[in-house]
Structure 1
Amino acid sequence: MKLNIRALTLSYLPVLIARIGSGANTFLISYLAPGSNIAVGFILASYPFVEAASSFVAGHITDRVGRRVTMILGYSWILTFTALVYLTIVITGSPTLTGVINGLMGFGAALILVSSLTMITDLTELGHRGLGMGVFDFINILGYALGYMTGAVLYQITGNASSFIALLALMVTLYAVVVKYIIETKPRVSGKVYLNPLKGVSRRVIPTLPLWFSITTILGAAIYAGRAMGRVEGVLPIHVGALILGAVTIVGLGSVFFGHLSDRFGRWRLITIGLLGVVMGLVTLATLLIININPIITVLAASPFIFMASALVPTILALTGDESLVTMRGTSMGLYSLVLGVGMGLGNILSGYFYTKMGLGGIAVLALVVFLTALVLYAVLRAVIK
C-alpha cells in the first residue's frame, strides 16, 4: 500500500487539538481542584480510570461506526464535561463531585485516543508504521504539553476558576475549525469483530503490556509532579509548563527518530534501547531529586536518557498494529487505551501518597520501582511466549 502523506498528515491535526484541550484541563484541575494533595491525586486519576474502563467500548464503536463519527462524538463529550467541571468547582467546591465529573470526561478521551490510533494504523503499513506511530506520539504528547502550557498561562493570568471559561471558548473555536479535517479511514474489508480484544491481536504482543502499563503509570506520576514542582520555592506555574513542554519535545523527537529506526531494524531491538533509556533516566531523576537538586536541573541532566526512553512507545504501538486483525484494529488499540488509563490513574494516586511522604524524590523512586517490576514481568513473558 502506498503511503498517503496528505491523509496521514491531516489525521494528526484532530489529535493535536484534542490533546491541547486535555492538557490545559489537566493543569487547571491540578491547581484548582478542591481537597488535599491525596484528594487531588484521586480527582486527576478519575479521568484516566474512566478512560480505561470505556476503552473497549470506544474500540468497538470505532470498528462498527467508523473513525470519524467516533472522534466527533469524543469532541462533543469533552466540551460538555469541561463546562460541567467548571460549574462543579465554582458552585459546589466538592472534591467528590469534581472527581466524578472529571472522570466522566474520560469517556470522550477514550473515543478520541482509540479512533486516532486506529486511523494511524489504517494509513500505515509494516514498512513505515513505526514512523507513523512515532509522529503520532510526538503530536499526541506535544499537544498535551502545549495544553499544559496553555493552562499555565490562563491560570497565571486569572488565578482562579475563570480560566476554565477561557479554555472552553478556545476549545470550541479549535474544534469547530478542525472537524472538517477529520477523515474516515475504516478499511472496506469483511470479517468478524469479536468483543474479546485479545482475539484481535497476536500473543506476541502480550509481553509488552507490563512495559506499557509502567510507562503510563510513570506518565501519571509526571502529571502529578507538575503540581508538586509548583510548590518549590521560586518555581512559577509558567516555569512548570515550560519544563513539561521541553521534556515532551525531547520525547516527541525521539519517538519520530526511533519509530523510523524500528521500521528498519525491527521492533524488539528498539524496545531494548528504550528499556535502557528508561532505567538510566529514572535512576538519574531519583538520585538527584532525593539529594534536593533543583527539579529543572535534574530534568536537564536526565534528558539524554529520556530521549533514549522515547523508543518504547512508538515501537510498542507499531508492533500492536502489525499484529492486529484488520477488522479489529480499533478494539486492539482499545486494549492499549485500557492499560493507558489504569496506569495513569494509578500513577496519579500513588504519586500523591509518595510526594506527601518523601517529596519530589519519592515520585521518582515510585516510577523506578514500577518500571523495574514491569521489566521483570516482560522478561518472564518473553521467555514463556514465543
Structure 2
Amino acid sequence: MRLAASYVPIFVARIGSGASAFLVVKLASGGAVEAGFVLAAYPFLEARGAFVAGRWSDTLGRKTTLIVGYVVRSIAMLALAWAFYTHEAPWLEAFLNGVIGFTTAFILTSSLAMATDLTEVRNRGLGMGGFEFINLGSYGVGYLLGSALYSVFQGPSAYLAVALFTTVATPIFAKYIQETRPAAPGEGRLLLSVLPPSAVALLPVWFALTTIIGLAMYSPRILRIEGGGLGVAEHIVQMLGGYLAIGLLFISALALLGLGAIFFGRLADKWGRVKTFRLGLIGGLLALVTLNIALRLNLGVVEAVAITAPLLFLASAIGPSILAMIGDEADIRYRGTVMGIYSVMLGLGIGFGSLLAGFVAAAFPQYEINGLAAAALGVYATMAALHLVVANLFAGKGGLALEKGVAPEKL
C-alpha cells in the first residue's frame, strides 16, 4: 500500500503536465520556433531542478521536497494562465513554463526516490515498471484532458482549468503521503559524484527516448486529423473531432508503453536487467523504421502508429530496466540524488526534442510529420550507436557493475 501511495503525487502531477503539454503548444505566442522555445523551457528547467531536488530529497526529506515543489508549481501554473489571458509575450510564457518544469522535478525525483526506498532487488524492476506506468498513463490522461478542454474553450480558459485542478489537488494528496526515509542533513552530494558507472553507457539511449517524447509533444501544433481519407480512423475522428482524436492517439500510445513497462519490469527481475534493456533497444529502432516507412507510403498518422504498436510495446522495456539497474547500485544515503537522473534525462531530451521539432516544422512546412519521424529515427540511431561505443569501452576495462539477483552480464 505504501508503494502504491508513493505513486499518487506523480499521478496528480503528470495529469497536469500532460494537459499543459497540449495546451502550451497550442496557446504559445509567436511562430513555430517561438513555440518550440516556450515548450522547451519546461523540460530544460526540469533537468536543472533535478540537481536541487535530489539533494533536498536526501537532506530535507522526500515529503518536504515534494510538497515544496507542488506549492510553487501551482502558483506558477496560475501565473501562466494569467499570462495567456493578458499578454502575447513568448519570453514570459517560457519563463513561467520553466518555473513549472523546475518544480515538477521536485515531485518526480522525490516520488521516484520513495518508490526505490520501498522496493528491493527482487522486485525493483516491477516497482520501477509501476512507476513508469503511472508516469506515462497519467501523462496520457492529462494530454487527453487538455485536448478535450481546448475543444470546449478554444483558449486560455482551458489552461486555467488545469491550473485550478493542480492547486486543489495539492493538499488532498499531501495529507496522506508518508515519508519513506528520515532526512539526513549534511549527506547531500552532487549527482555526478554518486551516479553509478553503469548508468553512463545507458544515458545516450535514455536521451534518445526522451528526445522522441519532445518531438511528439510538439505535434499538436502541426498535426491535423480530419474526417476524410483516414480509413478505419475516419469514424472515430468524425465522432470526436480532430483535437480529441489527437489526444486519444497520444494516450493510446502512452498506455501501451505504460503496460509494457510493468510487463518488462517484471521480466527484468526474472530474466535480467541487461537482456531486457537490449530487447527494448532493438524494439525501439525497429519501431521508428516502421513508422517512417508507413508515413512514406502515405498512410495516415493513426494507421502508421497502429502498425508500429507491437514494436513500440517492445521499446517500453528500456525505461524500467534502466531505472532498476540504477536503483540497484544507488547508495541509500544518496538515493534521492541518484534518482534525480530521471528528471535530468527527461528534461534534457524533451527540451532538445521540442526545439528540434520547432526547427523541423519551420524548415519543412509541407512535410512536418514526416520530418519529425525522420528526426526521431536519426536521433535514436545516433544515440544507440554511441551507447554501443561507450558500452564497449567499459567492457574493455572489465565491464560494468554486475546485476544483483540475476545472472552476471556485460552491457
TM-score over 0.5 (shorter chain): yes
Residue 150, structure 1, aligned to residue 156, structure 2:
no
C-alpha separation in 2, matches of 1:326 and 1:290: 49
Residue 67, structure 1, aligned to residue 62, structure 2:
yes
**Counterparts in 2 of 1:99-248, with a 5 A limit?**
99-186=94-181, 192-195=187-190, 197-229=191-223, 231-234=224-227, 236-248=242-254
**Bigger Cα displacement from structure 2, 301-310 vs 177-186:** 177-186
2:81–2:163 CA contact under 8 A, matched in 1: no
C-alpha separation in 2, matches of 1:190 and 1:161: 43
Summarize deviations over 1:363-383 as a string: whole Å, max 9, x none. Answer: 111111111111111111111
C-alpha separation in 1, matches of 2:100 and 2:7: 21
2:380 is matched with 371
C-alpha separation in 1, matches of 2:184 and 2:44: 33
C-alpha separation in 1, matches of 2:371 and 2:161: 35
C-alpha separation in 1, matches of 2:118 and 2:75: 30
Correspondence for 1:380 among 389, 401, 407: 389
1:66–1:186 CA contact under 8 A, matched in 2: yes
Q: CA deviation at 1:335?
A: 2.4
**1:72 partner amino acid:** I
In structure 1, stretches of 5+ residues that fail to align are 1-5
Q: CA deviation at 1:22?
A: 1.1
2:25 is matched with 30
1:307 is matched with 313
What count of residue pairs does the alignment treat as equivalent?
A: 379
1:3 is matched with none
**1:161 partner amino acid:** P
1:254 is matched with 260
**1:169 partner amino acid:** L
1:90 is matched with 85
C-alpha separation in 1, matches of 2:93 and 2:185: 43
Summarize deviations over 1:297-342 as a string: whole Å, max 9, x none. Answer: 1111000001000000011011111111111111111223212111
Distance 1:16 1:117, change over 3 A: same
Summarize deviations over 1:186-234 as a string: whole Å, max 9, x none. Answer: 2688994322x233232122100111111111111111123322x3444
2:58–2:187 CA contact under 8 A, matched in 1: no
Q: CA deviation at 1:57?
A: 0.8
Q: SS of the residue aligned with 2:122?
A: coil
Residue 79, structure 1, aligned to residue 74, structure 2:
yes
Q: CA deviation at 1:254?
A: 0.3
**1:223 partner amino acid:** M
Q: SS of the residue aligned with 2:330?
A: coil
**Bigger Cα displacement from structure 2, 170-179 vs 129-138:** 170-179
2:59–2:186 CA contact under 8 A, matched in 1: no
Q: CA deviation at 1:169?
A: 2.5
Summarize deviations over 1:237-271 as a string: whole Å, max 9, x none. Answer: 11111111111111000000000000011110001
C-alpha separation in 1, matches of 2:41 and 2:372: 19
**Counterparts in 2 of 1:210-359, with a 5 A limit?**
210-229=204-223, 231-234=224-227, 236-356=242-362, 357=364, 358-359=367-368
1:286–1:362 CA contact under 8 A, matched in 2: no
**Bigger Cα displacement from structure 2, 200-209 vs 130-139:** 200-209
Correspondence for 1:19 among 14, 34, 50: 14
CA RMSD, Structure 1 to Structure 2 (Å): 1.6
C-alpha separation in 2, matches of 1:333 and 1:167: 28
C-alpha separation in 2, matches of 1:240 and 1:177: 31
**2:305 partner amino acid:** V
Q: SS of the residue aligned with 2:109?
A: helix
2:409 is matched with none
1:11–1:181 CA contact under 8 A, matched in 2: no
**1:175 partner amino acid:** T
**2:154 partner amino acid:** G
2:40 is matched with 45
**1:122 partner amino acid:** D
C-alpha separation in 2, matches of 1:369 and 1:55: 27
Residue 55, structure 1, aligned to residue 50, structure 2:
yes
Sequence identity of aligned pairs in percent? 40
**2:140 partner amino acid:** A
1:19–1:147 CA contact under 8 A, matched in 2: yes
C-alpha separation in 2, matches of 1:264 and 1:49: 35
C-alpha separation in 2, matches of 1:275 and 1:191: 39
Distance 1:178 1:190, change over 3 A: closer
C-alpha separation in 1, matches of 2:292 and 2:199: 30
Summarize deviations over 1:85-140 as a string: whole Å, max 9, x none. Answer: 11112111111211111112111111011111111111111100000000100000
Q: SS of the residue aligned with 1:17?
A: helix
C-alpha separation in 1, matches of 2:195 and 2:119: 17
Q: SS of the residue aligned with 1:128?
A: helix
In structure 2, stretches of 5+ residues that fail to align are 228-236, 400-411
